Amino acid sequence: MGVYEVKSLEQYFKVYKRSVREPRKFWSKIAEDFVWYKKWDKVLEYRLEEAEVKWFVNGKLNITKNCIDRHLAKRGDKTAIIFEPNDPDEEAEHITYNDLYNRVCKMANVLRDQGIRKGDRVCIYLPMIPELAVTVLACARIGAIHSVVFAGFSESALAARIQDCECKMVVTSDGGFRGNKTIDLKGIVDGALETCPSIDKVLVVKRTNADIPMKEGRDEWLAPLYEKASTESIAEVMDAEDPLFILYTSGSTGKPKGMLHTTAGYMIYTAYTFKNVFQYEEKDVYWCTADIGWITGHSYILYGPLANGATTVMFEGVPSYPDFGRFWEVVDKHKVTQFYTAPTAIRALAKESTDWVTKYDLSSLKVLGSVGEPINEEAWHWYNDHVGNKKCPIVDTWWQTETGGLMISPIAYATPTKPTYATLPLPGVQPVLMDEKRNEIEGNQVVGSLCIKFPWPSMARTIWGDHRRYKETYFSAFPGKYFTGDGALRDEVGYYRITGRVDDVVIVSGHNLGTAPIEDAINEHPAVAESAIVGFPHDIKGNALYGFIILKETGETRNRENLTREINQYISEHIGPIAKLDKIQFVSGLPKTRSGKIMRRILRKIASKDTANLGDTSTLLNPEVVEDIIENAV
Ligand code: WTA
């Protein structure tokens, strides 16, 4: 991917200009560097008003040919994946490109033998072990659509995701290790499958050796099938726009949205941005600490790095196990050159002694990355001073599940960084800030709603089974433009700073949580009449959740402590422990407009203890409840 490489700010401006002036030529030049069965007839077709986009029309390819096969001649013995287990005493595994080829082909054959065909959906519910990477790639090899569900999601969250896209198979494990905990993944799958009639087969990977029940006719251990599978598997011919995967993200309303990504555009964009933003070079060892259950793991642990023939680290554990030095121990051990993590992890580690960092040799590091939420100034400096030793540029990468790849980010060693700023749009990305009247805001030193006004190759194509919702959520607030749901400011030199969500999504420890699904879960509690959830600032998590809850008459007499515990239990079961509330306040009423809409703006202020100026409350139907809520705020 030598073409359009960016090594300096000057080059960035040149490349950027070209990408905007002639986007078709720009992306087709980059696409030439990949392996195709057949090249495209047309680079781009789109109608953003209808939320319709096609890239590399009629091109034929297979992404695993590009991520694995084409590297074998030159890099067969190079390590593709370093697997670092949860337990530091368990040996790390170095999987070469040759090994990866064999493993993916074997797994592809297992899937085919079990009846999986092109277009079928396979749910992957696995911990961060090599089989997760292998299964994802095996699906891609045979054209099955993978739907990875983060192994921290609860039974009902898993069930909802399986039902929504009608998966035929689940690939899971007997359990998973995370820090000093063991998680019973198979038990969660068994529970979920009680309401998932589309599932014919469950393949089970052995990881913890837990004694688990296997359902006759449905469940199979992977190992015996895998052992006898052949190491050759022909890669399916995929159309550029054939679906590659579905990944669920929570919306501000209703059920999770199954974002659908397709093949060619996604591959080209993640590969190009990986190479440039992280300045990856042949001998580098790159480590992204995300879980493959999130988009960051899809695009920047697997597809982007592997398309570049990179060495990518896959870490099973957590930053605090066995102690707060774990990240730095792993960097030292594998001589990591690019390190990519989330602000929430940085903030948690910055609370601990810097001895945990200085104990290790971090001199291999060249680039640091941040993703998932705005990084605050303090965390940025700690990361820069103690981890990067003031020598490593920090790439603060802004993007989303929906965008597939990095959108606004410094390019390491080219873009001068500025704390808390994601800086400049990457080549091919055309951001605009919009005002409330839906006009584009020109010039600098302005704030607005962040939109993208021209298609880029890795954008999601639809929400699985619900194109109308896709169009309404992303393309109707500002017709003809993609609306990100984020607010941003543009400073005097044109640098972007993301200020946070402008909708009812709260980012807790880097995880998107729609408030509506949490409210739905709480409202199922028999003692609860109504609830409203908002976010408030939190030292480590970035944001935490505050619940305002109205009880039914029958609930009024109940012990509040028990109720609080039960409500969080409901949330854990319906969504996952990550969505538990940090604070709960039982209230007699919620501030509502005359049309009955909860005024969340006011609740947000109360939760943040910022009640000096509540703004305009004249449209409230019941202003008296506000005083009461403020007085009893927790
Ligand atoms: C937020 C994660 C500020 C943002 C890749 C976005 C960020 C949402 C940043 C997407 C950043 C992500 N600075 N905010 N560098 N990166 N966000 O879908 O609100 O899990 O809309 O994708 O995270 O989260 P998602």
pLDDT tens for 371-416 read 999 898 999 999 999 999 999 999 999 999 999 999 999 999 999 9
- Cβ burial of 570 (10 Å; 0-12, 13-18, 19+) is middle
Q: Do domains 64-72+93-236 and 505-631 have the same CATH topology?
A: no
DSSP-derived pairing of the beta strands 583-587 and 542-551? parallel
Ligand 1 pocket test, candidate residues 512, 513, 578, most atoms within 8 A of CB: 512
pLDDT tier at 269 (50, 70, 90 boundaries)? very high
Atom 5, ligand 1: residue with shortest CA distance: 400
Q: Separation of 514 CA from ligand 1 center, angstroms?
A: 14
Say yes or no: CB of residue 513 within 6 Å of ligand 1.
Answer: no
Residue ranges covered by each domain of the chain? 64-72+93-236, 505-631
Kindly state the helix (H) or strand (E) to which residue 47 belongs, with its residue range. strand 42-47
* Residue from 339, 410, 372, 530 nearest 16 by CA: 410
Please state the length of the chain.
634
Say yes or no: CB of residue 501 within 6 Å of ligand 1.
Answer: yes
Atom 22, ligand 1: residue with shortest CA distance: 400
Say yes or no: CB of residue 458 within 6 Å of ligand 1.
Answer: no
Ligand 1 pocket test, candidate residues 397, 398, 463, 495, most atoms within 8 A of CB: 398
pLDDT tier at 17 (50, 70, 90 boundaries)? very high
Q: What is the mean pLDDT of residues 483-494?
A: 96
Question: What ipTM describes this predicted complex?
Answer: 0.99
Q: State the virtual CA torsion across 350, 354, 356, 362 in degrees, nearest 10.
A: 100
Atom 3, ligand 1: residue with shortest CA distance: 374
* Residue from 188, 223, 217 nearest 204 by CA: 223
**Atom from ligand 1 closest to the CA of residue 375:** 13
How confident is the model at residue 253, as a pLDDT?
A: 67
Whether 364 has a pLDDT exceeding 70, the answer reads yes
Q: Which fold is adopted by the domain 64-72+93-236? A: Rossmann fold (3.40.50)
Q: Separation of 342 CA from ligand 1 center, angstroms?
A: 10
Q: Separation of 268 CA from ligand 1 center, angstroms?
A: 21
Ligand 1 pocket test, candidate residues 400, 449, 503, most atoms within 8 A of CB: 400
Ligand 1 pocket test, candidate residues 248, 399, 463, most atoms within 8 A of CB: 399
Give the CA angle between residues 275, 402, 366 to the nearest 5°: 25
Q: Tokens 């680079």 — which residue?
A: 43
pLDDT tier at 252 (50, 70, 90 boundaries)? low
Whether 251 has a pLDDT exceeding 80, the answer reads no
pLDDT tier at 554 (50, 70, 90 boundaries)? confident
Ligand 1 pocket test, candidate residues 292, 507, 509, most atoms within 8 A of CB: 507
Q: What is the mean pLDDT of residues 157-178?
A: 97
Q: Which positions ≥6 away from 287 have C-beta within 8 Å?
A: 312, 313, 315, 330, 331, 334, 336, 338, 339, 340
How confident is the model at residue 1, as a pLDDT?
A: 63
Amino acid at 158: L
Alpha-carbon radius of gyration of the chain = 24
DSSP 243-307: EEEEEEE--SSSSPEEEEEESHHHHHHHHHHHHHHTT--TT-EEEE-S-TTSHHHIIIIIIHHHH
More confidently predicted of 87 and 510? 87
pLDDT tier at 284 (50, 70, 90 boundaries)? very high
Q: Separation of 295 CA from ligand 1 center, angstroms?
A: 10
Sign of torsion over alpha carbons 29, 35, 39, 42? negative
574-603 confidence digits (pLDDT tens):
899 999 999 999 999 999 877 777 888 899
Q: What is the mean pLDDT of residues 145-164?
A: 95
Here the tokens at position 625 are 């409840």
Say yes or no: CB of residue 342 within 6 Å of ligand 1.
Answer: no
411 with 10: CB under 8 angstroms? no
505-519 confidence digits (pLDDT tens):
899 998 989 888 899
Query: Count of H helices and E strands in the chain?
Result: 22, 30
455-472 confidence digits (pLDDT tens):
999 999 999 999 999 999
Say yes or no: CB of residue 408 within 6 Å of ligand 1.
Answer: no
pLDDT tier at 613 (50, 70, 90 boundaries)? confident
Say yes or no: CB of residue 422 within 6 Å of ligand 1.
Answer: yes
Say yes or no: CB of residue 151 within 6 Å of ligand 1.
Answer: no
Three-state SS string over 383-438 comes to HHHHHCCCCCCEEEEECCCCCCCCCECCCCCCCCCCCCCCECECCCCCEEEECCCC
Q: Separation of 257 CA from ligand 1 center, angstroms?
A: 16
Residues paired with 248 in a beta bridge: 258
Q: Separation of 501 CA from ligand 1 center, angstroms?
A: 9
Sign of torsion over alpha carbons 103, 109, 114, 120? positive
Q: What is the mean pLDDT of residues 296-325?
A: 98
Atom 6, ligand 1: residue with shortest CA distance: 400
Candidates 2.40.50.100, 3.30.300.30, 3.40.50.2300, 1.10.150.240; CATH matching 505-631:
3.30.300.30
Q: Which long-range contacts (CB under 8 A, 24 or more apart) does 213-220 make?
A: 213/186, 215/190, 218/193, 220/114
**Atom from ligand 1 closest to the CA of residue 396:** 15
